Amino acid sequence: MSLNNAMTKVDRRDAKLALAHVYVAFIALLLGGLAGLLQVFVRSGQFKLPAGIGYYQVLTVHGVLLGLILTTFFIFGFQIAGVSRTSGTFTDKQRLLGWIGFWLMTIGTVAAAVMVLLNKATVLYTFYAPLQAHWIFYLGLTLVVVGSWIGSAGQILRYVQWRKEHKGQTSPLLSFMVVVNNLLWFVASLGVAVSVLFQLLPWSLGLIERVDVLLSRTLFWYFGHALVYFWLLPAYMVWYVVIPKVIGGKVFSDSLARLSFMLFLIFSVPVGLHHQLTEPGIDTTWKFIQVVLTMAVVVPSLMTAFSLFATFELRGRELGGKGLFGWFKKLPWKDARFIVPFIGMLAFIPGGAGGIVNASYQMNQLIHNTIWVPGHFHLTFASAVVLTYFGAAFWLIPHLTGRKLTKSLNSLGIVSGVLWAVGMTIMSTAMHIAGLLGAPRRSDYSEYGGAQQAYDWIPYQIAQAVGGTILFIAILVITYVVIKLAWFAPKGEEEFPIASIHESSGPTPPMLENFKVWLVILVALIIFAYTIPIFDIISNSPAGSKGFKFW
């Protein structure tokens, strides 16, 4: 089935479900962005939080709302719309799974947020033990994860139904990518689910006296790094499938796109130990093995870069671009749907370079737990990923609401992207430099008093506040655009852009759609990478020496 033959309009009932997710995502963006603004103000040393609000309280709000809630809800809204657009309208039962998942996620979000606001769950973004939150916070996060599993099941079932109805045909590329991302999410979130359900939740309820801290951290990072790819792959979906259509081109290679997604699937999970390179209790051999597996992710990333810029060049030359870079000038630089995600693509270049430093065994010693790490994080997730989400929202929301992206809203979209680029350049650069000077992450620096080292960080703290202010202005502009596109823009039809496959792409090998084979490889890698390290953690812990009662 050609992508050109897919449905051109998302069914109204599916659109309602997708929009519900998207609206929650942008509410989380506004509140989480405000918390981030307060953070950088406090770190500048020129501002104190009012009403007894704690710095780590707003840090937790910022991290959880943007890192978990914004992402999960927007991704599911986009994926629901994408599957409906390319594989057909959901059945009533499939859509019901989506709604059940949405309400469980929403209830869980509210429960967790209330505990954070009451200052009973100030446990940072990673909610590490031995920091302990109220049990309602952990229960809320559990509902978010379980709800996401139920919602993703509806998407996968729609894809399976399409495969049964079109035996022997290559499935729609976007639907295929959605299934890969949902499988990645399910496998990865098992780690944090085990930690919360069997360690942190019983511990906070007083059912057990203690938890194995190293085990809980290892289970978190089993999930934590794959979470990055759960955020990233929807951006890649936009880059591979949507952006070529926006610029008037075609998907460079269907096979290359599917292979890159399968490689992300198998290399995303067994790499979490590279976040724990400085932690004792884990054998260095296994840390090194997972560093190697982490570096393997460079391969699908480079494949994606090659595919994207090949698409850009082919289209630019079709439009008359001459010379080595003449094609570059022919791209639609006045289209917010293109330029905002493109800024994100550019940010991913230095972000990826910083990631290599983070995952390198020796260079990590310098920057581990410094503010360099959030600086890297804000280039990869908060720039490459989030800007792509914004660019997608500029066409996704009006498509689902039956409105138009007007010329003025398109211009505001470009303004928001430029503001984001300027603000993030200032803030993340300051974070990277301060990190090299030893400034710690997750700290308001007040405990350093008059130490000379803290004075060295002051210019970069102020720069972070300047950059953060510009970023929050960008959030306000984007929020305005979203509200207009949802309820006030002129009625009309906005395209859900899905590119067709380039004629030179060639047939897609059936192996690339054989999920059984790729899942077996994934499970084998996880067993190889984690069995012995986790066994060592359990058997060498004080509780583990007494019959493995490590809970």
* SS3 at position 403: strand
Percent of the chain residues past pLDDT 90, beyond the cut: 71
Other Cβ atoms closer than 10 A to 515? 16
> What's the pLDDT at 454?
65
d(CA 226, CA 126): 14
> What's the pLDDT at 547?
35
Q: Report residue 112 as tokens.
A: 């967790």
CB 225 within 8 A of CB 272: yes
> 491 φ, ψ to 5°?
-65, 145
Other Cβ atoms closer than 10 A to 456? 13
CB 331 within 8 A of CB 353: no
From residue 236, how far is each of 112, 176, 181, 231, 305 by CA, in Å?
Answer: 30, 13, 11, 9, 10
Tokens 């500048």 belong to 44
Q: Which CATH number is 11-171's, of 1.10.10, 1.10.3470, 1.20.120, 1.10.287? A: 1.20.120
d(CA 22, CA 70): 8
Q: How many CA atoms lie within 13 A of 110 on its CB side?
A: 6
Tens digits of per-residue pLDDT, 7-64? 578 999 999 999 999 999 999 999 999 999 999 898 877 788 888 888 888 888 998 8
> What's the pLDDT at 438?
87
Tokens 């370079």 belong to 353
* DSSP code for 416: H
From residue 63, how far is each of 56, 277, 374 by CA, in Å?
Answer: 10, 22, 11
CB 315 within 8 A of CB 245: no
Residues 6+ apart with CB under 8 A from 286: 273, 529, 532, 533
CB 173 within 8 A of CB 236: no
Q: How many residues does the chain have?
A: 551
Would you give the distance in Å from CA 216 to the centre of its chain? 22
Known catalytic residues are 225, 229, 376-378, 441-442
d(CA 87, CA 11): 11
pTM of the model: 0.94
Give the chain's end-to-end CA distance (angstroms, integer).
51
> What's the pLDDT at 474?
97
Spans of the chain below 70 pLDDT: 1-7, 445-455, 542-551
> What's the pLDDT at 410?
97
